[in-house]
Amino acid sequence: MPNPLVGVPEALAEAELGESAAHLMVDDSIYPLEAVYGASFTFLDRCFVLIDRPEPGRFRVTLSTKKPGADEATLRALVGEFANELLAQAWRRKIVEENRATLEAVTMQAIGGAMGPPTLDELEDFDFSEEPFEDPLGIAMSWEEKYGKKTPPKGDADASAASADAAAEDAAEDATADQDSDAKGGAE
């Protein structure tokens, strides 16, 4: 006959000392079935786990120790650990649901990067034509096409032309001086 566990709410868990088993009632609106499965899986090395649904909206998880003769403290510890693991599994599931798009994007990039460069067959199938493609957001055009090429102001153009002429004259003078020094060096 099931007995309530000391320190655990009566509606939540009960123990059967003769069978070395504890029964834990789980509300499925709080803990989804996947969380119950995950928590149960972590206990498979320590006890036998049975999950059933005695009534709609609730799961009953039975934890039976693998060694017979478990006392109430052992069963209470199992129930407490299972409840903690159940909460952790439900939280992990919620995090995965919220980050599903990010996880899928990272996974696809990893798989795509591992595939390597395209083969020649894939390149043959690629459309290299000059025909325009649809670009409703206008992101496929260059900066110059979108905003026009900037022309330098009139004063800046004259200044840059003058500095270019001066640089050319300096280069010509340097070349002449080098030729003169070579000619003198060769005559000596």
Task: Give the three-state DSSP class for 118.
Answer: coil
Which residue in this structure is represented by tokens 């998880």?
61
Q: In which order are the strands placed within the sheet that holds 21-27?
A: 3-4, 13-16, 21-27, 58-65, 47-55
Report the pLDDT averaged over residues 38-67: 92
Q: With contact defined as beta carbons under 8 Å apart, do 49 and 63 qualify?
A: yes
Question: Dihedral angle at the C-alpha atoms of 32, 34, 40, 42, nearest 10 degrees?
Answer: -120
How many residues does this entry show for the chain?
A: 188
| All domains in the chain, ordered by first residue | 3-98 (3.30.70.60)
Q: 72 falls in which pLDDT band (50, 70, 90)?
A: confident
Q: Residue 4 pLDDT more than 60?
A: yes
What are the pLDDT digits (tens) for 76-125? 888 889 989 999 999 999 998 899 889 888 988 888 777 777 677 777 77
**Sequence-distant (≥ 6) Cβ neighbours of residue 24 within 8 angstroms:** 12, 13, 60, 61, 62, 63, 79, 82, 83
pLDDT, position 155: 59
Which residue in this structure is represented by tokens 């123990």?
15
Residue 9 tokens read as 């709410």
pLDDT, position 175: 55
Count Cβ atoms below 10 Å from residue 47 Cβ, excluding itself: 22
What are the pLDDT digits (tens) for 123-182? 777 767 777 677 777 777 777 777 877 776 665 555 555 565 665 666 556 555 555 555
pLDDT, position 136: 75
Burial of 168 from C-beta contacts in 10 A (0-12 / 13-18 / 19+): exposed
| Closest by CA position to 19, among listed 66, 51, 64, 80 | 64
pLDDT, position 122: 74
Count Cβ atoms below 10 Å from residue 15 Cβ, excluding itself: 25
- Tally of helices (H runs) and strands (E runs) in the chain: 6, 5
pLDDT, position 170: 61
Lowest mean pLDDT among 23-32, 42-51, 88-97: 23-32
Q: Residue 188 pLDDT more than 50?
A: no
Task: Give the three-state DSSP class for 15.
Answer: strand
Task: Give the three-state DSSP class for 150.
Answer: coil
pLDDT, position 171: 58
